[in-house]
């Protein structure tokens, strides 16, 4: 029952955010600021961050396996799950980008 309540609350928040976004006046996009990161830079940084997370989880797991003191199994599992979730998120973003590209390429000219 709690999942239904959480889902309903999430949907209400999303709808309120949608209404706020629709109520805002439309303005032309400002020219890119000097030094503002591009989309490709931000995507590259996100991929690098996921890679760092996976490497840190691997190092922590290896330290636990060799019996290094101060490394707890809970820390290893948490790091492993963080790496897994971040990889899944990047994979989903990639899938959405590929789908958007395919949709654009299939548009009639």
Given this model, what pLDDT does residue 39 score? 85
Examine the pLDDT at 101 and tell me if it is beyond 60. yes
Give the confidence band of 104 by pLDDT, cuts at 50, 70, 90.
very high
pLDDT in tens, 8-65: 777 777 787 777 777 877 666 555 566 788 888 988 999 999 999 999 999 999 999 9
Q: How distant, in Å, are the alpha carbons of 22, 26, 41 from that of 30?
A: 19, 12, 19
Its pTM surpasses 0.85: no
Alpha helical stretches, state H, the chain: 2-23, 39-65, 73-105
Contact status, residue 54 vs residue 31, Cβ threshold 8 Å: no
Closest CA to 59 of 86, 85, 79: 79
User: Given this model, what pLDDT does residue 28 score?
Assistant: 60
pLDDT band at residue 102 under the 50/70/90 scheme: very high
Q: pLDDT tens, 19-32?
A: 777 787 766 655 55
Q: Which two tokens stand for residue 28?
A: 């032309």
**Nearest-10 crossing angle of helices 39-65, 73-105:** 150
Average the pLDDT over 93-97 and give the result: 93
């Amino acid at each position: 029952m709690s999942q239904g309540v959480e889902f309903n609350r999430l949907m209400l928040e999303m709808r309120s955010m949608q209404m706020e976004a629709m109520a805002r006046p439309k303005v032309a996009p400002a020219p890119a600021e000097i030094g503002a990161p591009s989309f490709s830079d931000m995507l590259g940084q996100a991929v690098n961050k996921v890679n760092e997370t996976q490497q840190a989880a691997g190092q922590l797991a290896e330290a636990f396996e060799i019996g290094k003191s101060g490394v707890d199994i809970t820390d290893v599992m948490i790091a492993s799950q963080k790496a897994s979730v971040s990889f899944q998120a990047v994979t989903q973003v990639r899938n959405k980008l590929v789908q958007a590209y395919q949709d654009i390429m299939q548009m009639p000219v």
